[in-house]
């Protein structure tokens, strides 16, 4: 089942990940797919990739605590070769990248972007064909979350906090 090849949101995720390194947008784009996904296994794939992009967003901002807190979920995803392969990613190389990333987070080293080791040639072709529509990394991506209207997110967090207090 080659579900991801026809998925335009995943293609956008890969473009943002590889071309402009807009990890905030990676999260936004794939979150929509995750919400709509009916296949339980692909829900796990999208969630693993979403969490990876959030970890990288925090890491680049030098928010090591935030990145490390979410990282355990990325490790769980990277250790499931079947899920990683479902995304068209080489599980062995991906696991090595994640291992290196964990070491870098622990040592609080400087952030360096990396490419996902995509092994599906059709998938590579699909996202590479979109490259002209994406610019390279810019500094304003580092704090992109602060430019978004987050009223609904903050409202939902407060609502959930109130619900937990009542229990």
Residue 59 lies in a domain: yes
Residue 10 lies in a domain: yes
Residue 132 lies in a domain: yes
Query: How many distinct structural domains can be found in the chain?
Result: 1
Residue 160 lies in a domain: no
Residues 118-138 have pLDDT tens digits of 999 999 999 999 888 877 655
pLDDT confidence of residue 165? 82
Residue 25 lies in a domain: yes
| Top-confidence residue, 158 or 152 | 158
The sign one gets for the Cα dihedral 131, 135, 137, 143 is negative
| Region 103-122 average pLDDT | 96
Q: Indicate the angle between helix axes 8-15 and 121-128, nearest 10 degrees.
A: 70
pTM attached to this predicted model = 0.80
Q: Report the distance separating Cα 105 and Cα 56, nearest Å.
A: 10
Q: What angle do CA 58, 114, 8 make, to 5 degrees?
A: 85
Residue 12 lies in a domain: yes
Measuring CA to CA, which residue among 24, 1, 92, 2 is closest to residue 12?
A: 24
Residue 31 lies in a domain: yes
118 phi and psi angles, rounded to 5 deg: -70, 130
CA distances (Å), 44 to each of 18, 54, 100, in order? 21, 15, 22
Q: Look up the domain containing 21 and give its range.
A: 4-138
CATH of the domain at 78: 1.10.3450.10
**Does 140 score more than 60 pLDDT?**
no
| Region 88-113 average pLDDT | 97
Structure tokens at 21: 């390194």
């Amino acid at each position: 089942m080659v579900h991801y090849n026809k998925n335009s949101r995943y293609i956008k995720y890969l473009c943002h990940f590889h071309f402009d390194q807009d990890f905030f947008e990676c999260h936004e784009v794939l979150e929509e797919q995750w919400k709509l996904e009916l296949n339980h296994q692909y829900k796990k794939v999208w969630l693993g990739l979403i969490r990876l992009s959030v970890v990288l967003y925090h890491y680049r901002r030098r928010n090591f605590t935030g990145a490390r807190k979410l990282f355990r979920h990325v490790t769980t995803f990277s250790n499931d070769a079947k899920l990683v392969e479902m995304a068209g990613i080489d599980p062995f190389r991906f696991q090595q990248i994640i291992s290196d990333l964990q070491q870098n987070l622990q040592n609080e080293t400087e952030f360096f972007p990396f490419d996902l080791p995509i092994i599906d040639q059709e998938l590579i072709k699909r996202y590479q064909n979109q490259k002209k529509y994406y610019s390279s990394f810019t500094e304003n991506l580092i704090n992109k979350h602060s430019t978004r209207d987050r009223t609904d997110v903050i409202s939902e967090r407060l609502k959930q906090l109130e619900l937990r207090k009542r229990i």
